[in-house]
Amino acid sequence: MKSKIILLCAIAYTSTIGFTMGQSSSTPPKVSPMLMEPEMTEVWEPEVAIVTPAKVLGDAPSDAIILFDGKNLDQWVSQKDPSKPAPWKIINKDHLEVAPGSGGIQTKMKFGDCQLHIEFSAPDLVEGASQGRGNSGVFFQNRYELQVLDSYNNRSYRNGQAGSIYKDHAPLVNAMRSPTEWNTYDVIYTAVRYKEDGRVDYPARITVLHNGVLVQNNVTISGLTDYIGLHNYPEAHGDDVISLQDHNNKTQFRNIWIRKL
Ligand code: MG
């Protein structure tokens, strides 16, 4: 009698296991959906910071750092000797002009992720060709160049014209205005990140609008802007200055502001 009971229990147990296993592989367990209210997906805190936009599109919003507004070059120094003032010329208390041969200029402050607005104009006197016409550049973290060039009726290699990430990414289109007009760059820059061992965690990325036209769509920057050779990231670094290039052309700049992101 006792052995019969044990046998029946064993059969019952085995059947239950089999039934349960069969059920779990073919029929998902029923889960009661959580009752949701509209408020449960609303996030209120912390309140989003208020920024007052400029009255004129392209002018600095309330939280921007003004890098140049025509008054002075207090935010800049010489690239050849950062202990010295920036050697470029302010004209008509309005804009800045490269002093050819004096070297580039760089910000006193260092930046990583940022939103930059900068306006530029090629020299009114059209001379030179290809890379010799209206050449300058904006270097993020003092290393990665967004090319400035007079690309109005001026062919050059496509990954070296205005709006290019120099010798890395050609612009999507050529949105250049004539040398008697001003151009704008609006840039969203995401700095390169490094791992603790110094290897690149993820490379820098950049989005650029040239006169409001998208020319770089969140592209990956391949590395240090080298004139010769493929670009790469030779050494880890942190935030760094933004620099403007002296390429022996009297390129002009105005209305430069930046927001740290
Ligand atoms: Mg350049």
Give the number of domains in the chain: 1
Q: What's the mean pLDDT in 234-261?
A: 98
Residue 88's domain comprises: 65-260
User: What is the per-residue pLDDT for 23?
Assistant: 47
25 within a domain of the structure (yes/no) = no
83 belongs to a structural domain = yes
Dist. CA 214–CA 247, nearest whole Å: 25
User: For 145-171, what is each residue's pLDDT tens digit?
Assistant: 999 999 999 999 999 999 999 999 999
Q: Which residues contact 205 (CB under 8 A, 6 or more apart)?
A: 189, 190, 218, 219, 220, 221
Q: Let me know if residue 99 belongs to a domain.
A: yes
Does any domain span residue 172? yes
pLDDT band at 131 (very low <50, low <70, confident <90, very high): very high
C-alpha 40 – ligand 1 centre gap (Å): 52
Say if 3 falls within a structural domain.
no
> Comparing 111 with 19, which gets the higher pLDDT?
111
CATH for 89: 2.60.120.560
Instruction: Tell me the CA–centroid distance for residue 112 and ligand 1, in Å.
Output: 21
Through-space distance between the first and last CA atoms of the chain, rounded to whole angstroms? 81
Q: Whole-number mean pLDDT of the chain?
A: 91
Q: Which two tokens stand for residue 260?
A: 């740290």
8-24: b (≥16 Cβ within 10 Å) or e:
eeeeeeeeeeeeeeeee
166 CA to centre of ligand 1 in angstroms:
7
CA of 149 from ligand 1 middle (Å) equals 7
pLDDT recorded at residue 25: 57
Model confidence at 130: pLDDT above 70: yes
The verdict on residue 163 lying in a domain is yes
Greater confidence (18 vs 184) lies with 184
> Domain for residue 117, yes or no?
yes
pLDDT at residue 28 in the model? 78
Interval between CA 60 and ligand 1 midpoint (Å): 25
